[in-house]
Structure 1
Amino acid sequence: MKKILLLFILFTPILLISQTPCASNVAGGFPCSDYDLMDHFDKATLSSRNGSDIWGWTDPLDNKEYALTTFEDKTCFLDVTDPVNPIYLGFLNTNAGSNYWRDVKVYQNHAFIVADIVGAHGMQVFDLTRLRSVASPPENFTADAVLTTGFGGSTIGSCHNIVINESKAIAYLVGCRSANGGGPIMIDISNPTSPVAVGQYTADGYTHDAQVVTYDGPDTDYTGKEIFIGSNESKVVVVDVTNPAAPTKISEVTYSNTAYTHQGWFNKNKSYFLVGDEEDEQNFGNNSRTIIFDFTDLDNLSYHSEFLSTSPAIDHNLYVKDDLVFQANYRAGLRVLNIADINNIVEVGYFDTYPANDSPSFNGAWSIYPYFASGNIIISDIDRGFFVVRKSGTLSVSDQVFDESGITIYPNPAINELKIASNKNNIEHLMLYSLLGQKIIDKKHSPINELVLDVSNLSEGFYFVKINNSYTQKIFVKK
């Protein structure tokens, strides 16, 4: 039998796509639940340094999806439109030194990048439309602009983070060490390659991270206002920044067992604000903790509750999409919470990018970006590079790019049926093999462009589908 398998592998042209289904709570060696691995770029492929932040861009011209993933020394750009075959297009090197923190956000088809404890870095600006035509990837890009002058002529060097509400042409630099004491510096980016500092806020000291929204929540006193919610190390601060030249504090709130108020995000109707404390796991011995504040009245914020994970890992960045919270929890990887009922939060899935253990240490998943319309989710990992994952069973032909064969096979994993589609109307012969090379199905047809194969009677496991004696794909049948 081993000989049959060897001959099958040697003499059959196999296209092994990168997608690996989450089966028995494992995908490609990574623990998982209800989230499949689409692809993984090892850190060494992208950088010799540690990974940090990540964000995404969807090209309005053709809806292609791009990942912007950062490392200590650079920002890398990948086309993830076909999630099982991402393309590494190029990178933008640091504007100064290399260090642990680099952050990126997007506005009007431009990426805005800052870095911390690297000297005179400033804010890099990169025109993302340059990714539409890359002749010889990976290309070594240069920035289209660099901002080094802050409000009132001060110098912008190293900043910890950048925040952008994409409905407004203002970027907020926070945690800057060379200007302003670390409070937000407001940058007009209406002309992305000619950014100008137009304000700052200094009353509450250092801001580590923030969310800024055009407010449409339950407190009608602030409807339409630009509201800044800062995670300021020991508290959460709410500031009206509608006029960036004259920001006004609204309120603040804190909580018990405060170690380091790191980052937070509104739920979908802005009644609640969810916050992660980055050091409470080490300082107080609790599991990953998400603190929930009642934000129904912005003038009178209050503690509502907290959710404790089953994992002792340190929580880092979290983002909310509809009723789901996507958390990067360092050594526990991506954790997905359902917050439809804020009083009954439930973990509904995970993808652990750090399989070794969940101990409270600073390794593993740094951040995630869950906002692509396709459902693709991208993860940056300090130690293991770049991941594309997706909720199990949601990959379809519309999410994949036909290669030169003109054939694609989906869904993968398959549960009851498997579809084979062609854009060349050339499906004539289908064969299905077991992983050991045993032929299970052999069907011939007149040329068609789609075929549905019943796999409900097959045992769970990997199989090979061979089309027209030339195109072969590995698939997984899931029970």
Structure 2
Amino acid sequence: MIIKNYLLAFLFMLSIVSVADNSVFAQLGHSNMSLFSNKNDHPGTGGNLYSAIWGYVAPNGREYAILGCATGTAFYDVTDSANIVEVGFIPGPTSNWREMKVFSNYAYVVSEASNSKIQIINLANLPASVNLVGTSNMASHSSTHSISQDGPYLYLHGCNNSFGQGVTVVDLTNPTSPVKRGGWNTHYVHDSRVRNDTIYACNIYDPPGTITVINAANKDNLTTITSWVNNPNPFPHNAALTAGRTYIYTTDETSTPNGKLKVWNISNLSNVTFVTNWMPTGITTAIVHNVEIYGNYALVAHYSAGIRLLNITNPTTPVEVAWYDTYPGNNSSNYNGCWGVYMFPSGKIIASDRQTGLYVVKSTIPLVGINDPVNNTPEKFELKQNYPNPFNPSTYIEFSLKTAGHVSLKISDVLGREVAVLADEYRQAGSYKISYDAGRLPSGIYFYTLSTNNGFSETKKMVLSK
């Protein structure tokens, strides 16, 4: 009778789990991190799986997760932690590799599927809807492995051979009509991190295990600055930079031996030095995949070891402070589990798991505002004069934000026609510097205007002289 009662109780608990939201059963192994919700709404078939993830903060402050699925891209409103809902899905060619980035109110989605090109998705009507504006139409472009973004430029990696398997710069001056600019095709590039006019490219296996630093000041003519081998056991898949670009963190996506997170001192590009490597405490088998850096924290997607949060206040000695295991089956050296991670300004973390989809988690570590620019909060809103001025064809524009909010930075000609959008997004309080390449514009007088939803607006004049 006792056994029967235990059995009935057990079956009752199973019945509760079976009808509950995924978040009920998914409070898996964790430390200083807990689950808001897990959404597995688009499971793949025939070996097709989830892939990348990214985030978008709307002008009104609402937060959205963008999830790469086997047959398209899913959009979730994650603002209300107690009511995370899917608000849209854009179908795409079937692929296990789908990546996305956001500029202004558009998401740009790429994949390795043949003829997938770049999907341009309008986010302006969220949460009511998302809609596919169109697909890019750049000559010979078919597929892309991964995508980076910095200002009004996309950087495509590992495209089809005829387009270039290195890095290709795509100009978003007109956000709905991307234009191909220059490229760097000395070697295959798997992924990159871009800061202003510098690209840090992960060559992964061509040449074996190399990181290449590329000058992108002239978007039509990219040139090599330096490179180094990501020893020991190099296979650099992804990288992220600390504030000031003093250190770069790289991920070796290899199973033999198991890939690790590595730290390099790049303060002197003529003498790049290896600092240390890192693996999760007590785990020697799981493979690292992607890393993102937010202030003094590194957020790591570590395949079968799940989501990992590291304190990098001392960048040379990463310290694990929180984790959540999205793949509890094991910590084996396979490519299952957590693929990508992203942190919102609120401190909320989203992650993609190849098998089980979207995870929305929180940490007990206070994370609100940690991805602010690492400097003192400015005392006022300010738009500075561009420099150099006059310029040909590139210049820098600096501005300061006293408080967080939606920011737009736009360029217009003397007739008031908008010729470029350099920023149209939510930003934290801080000081910023944006590079602008006017290589495709004629000489003349132009105006740049900074506007915020806090009521600040200022316009300055600049001169393009070719």
Mark yes or no: TM-score above 0.5. Answer: yes
Q: Is the 8 A contact 2:56 2:64 kept in 1?
A: yes
Following superposition, the deviation at residue 374 of structure 1 comes to 1.3
Which amino acid is 1:172 matched to?
Y
Q: Is the 8 A contact 2:69 2:98 kept in 1?
A: yes
| 1:159 matched to 2:134 | no
Pairing partner for 2:350 from 373, 378, 387: 378
Helix, strand or coil at the partner of 1:144: strand
Distance 1:250 1:235, change over 3 A: same
- 1:284-325 residue CA offsets vs partner (Å, 9 max, x unmatched): 2x4x51111111023432222222333221100110111111
| 1:355 matched to 2:340 | no
| 1:274 matched to 2:276 | no
Q: Is the 8 A contact 2:26 2:35 kept in 1?
A: yes
Following superposition, the deviation at residue 369 of structure 1 comes to 0.6
Which amino acid is 1:179 matched to?
S
Larger Rg: 1
Helix, strand or coil at the partner of 2:256: helix
Can you give the 5+ residue segments of structure 1 that lack an aligned partner in the other structure? 6-15, 21-26, 135-140, 215-225, 397-479
Q: Which residue of 2 aligns with 1:78?
A: 76
Q: Which residue of 1 aligns with 2:235?
A: 260
Q: Is the 8 A contact 1:180 1:200 kept in 2?
A: no
Q: Which residue of 1 aligns with 2:421?
A: none
Following superposition, the deviation at residue 90 of structure 1 comes to 1.3
Q: Is the 8 A contact 2:87 2:128 kept in 1?
A: no
Q: Which residue of 2 aligns with 1:196?
A: 179
Q: Which residue of 1 aligns with 2:115?
A: 120
**TM alignment of 1:447-466, pairs within 5 A:** none
Distance 1:239 1:315, change over 3 A: same
Q: Distance in 1 between matches of 2:145 and 2:35?
A: 30
Q: Distance in 1 between matches of 2:314 and 2:365?
A: 25
Q: Distance in 1 between matches of 2:131 and 2:106?
A: 13
Helix, strand or coil at the partner of 1:386: strand
Pairing partner for 1:210 from 167, 192, 195: 192
Q: Which residue of 2 aligns with 1:461?
A: none
Helix, strand or coil at the partner of 2:303: coil
Q: Is the 8 A contact 1:160 1:175 kept in 2?
A: yes
Q: Distance in 1 between matches of 2:263 and 2:356?
A: 31
Q: Which residue of 2 aligns with 1:392?
A: 364
Following superposition, the deviation at residue 257 of structure 1 comes to 3.5
Q: Distance in 1 between matches of 2:236 and 2:189?
A: 10
Using structure 2 for the length normalisation, give the TM-score. Answer: 0.70
Which amino acid is 2:56 matched to?
W
Q: Is the 8 A contact 1:19 1:36 kept in 2?
A: no
Helix, strand or coil at the partner of 1:129: coil
Q: Which residue of 1 aligns with 2:418?
A: none
Distance 1:325 1:394, change over 3 A: closer
Q: Is the 8 A contact 2:260 2:278 kept in 1?
A: yes
- 1:187-213 residue CA offsets vs partner (Å, 9 max, x unmatched): 11121101111111112x111011101
Which amino acid is 1:52 matched to?
S
Pairing partner for 1:313 from 280, 286, 302: 286
Following superposition, the deviation at residue 262 of structure 1 comes to 0.4
Pairing partner for 2:136 from 147, 172, 182: 147
Q: Distance in 2 between matches of 1:67 and 1:192?
A: 21
- 1:273-292 residue CA offsets vs partner (Å, 9 max, x unmatched): 0001001xx212x4x51111
Distance 1:348 1:83, change over 3 A: same
Q: Distance in 1 between matches of 2:191 and 2:54?
A: 15
Which amino acid is 1:362 matched to?
Y
Using structure 1 for the length normalisation, give the TM-score. Answer: 0.68
Distance 1:17 1:142, change over 3 A: closer
Q: Which residue of 1 aligns with 2:438?
A: none
Q: Which residue of 2 aligns with 1:130?
A: 125
Q: Distance in 2 between matches of 1:237 and 1:293?
A: 13
Q: Which residue of 1 aligns with 2:415?
A: none
Q: Which residue of 2 aligns with 1:248?
A: 223
Helix, strand or coil at the partner of 2:79: coil
Following superposition, the deviation at residue 268 of structure 1 comes to 2.4
Following superposition, the deviation at residue 395 of structure 1 comes to 11
Distance 1:395 1:317, change over 3 A: closer
Q: Is the 8 A contact 1:69 1:77 kept in 2?
A: yes
Helix, strand or coil at the partner of 2:249: strand
Q: Which residue of 2 aligns with 1:54?
A: 53
Following superposition, the deviation at residue 17 of structure 1 comes to 8.8
Helix, strand or coil at the partner of 1:269: helix
Number of matched pairs: 344
Following superposition, the deviation at residue 18 of structure 1 comes to 8.0
Following superposition, the deviation at residue 19 of structure 1 comes to 6.8
Q: Which residue of 2 aligns with 1:182?
A: 165
Which amino acid is 1:209 matched to?
D
Q: Which residue of 2 aligns with 1:227?
A: 198
Following superposition, the deviation at residue 46 of structure 1 comes to 6.1
Q: Distance in 2 between matches of 1:86 and 1:386?
A: 10
Can you give the 5+ residue segments of structure 2 that lack an aligned partner in the other structure? 10-19, 369-466
- 1:365-385 residue CA offsets vs partner (Å, 9 max, x unmatched): 000111x11111001010011
Q: Is the 8 A contact 2:43 2:355 kept in 1?
A: no
Which amino acid is 1:126 matched to?
I
Q: Is the 8 A contact 2:264 2:272 kept in 1?
A: yes
RMSD: 2.4
Identity of aligned residues (%): 29
Q: Which residue of 2 aligns with 1:218?
A: none
Q: Which residue of 2 aligns with 1:24?
A: none
Following superposition, the deviation at residue 148 of structure 1 comes to 3.3
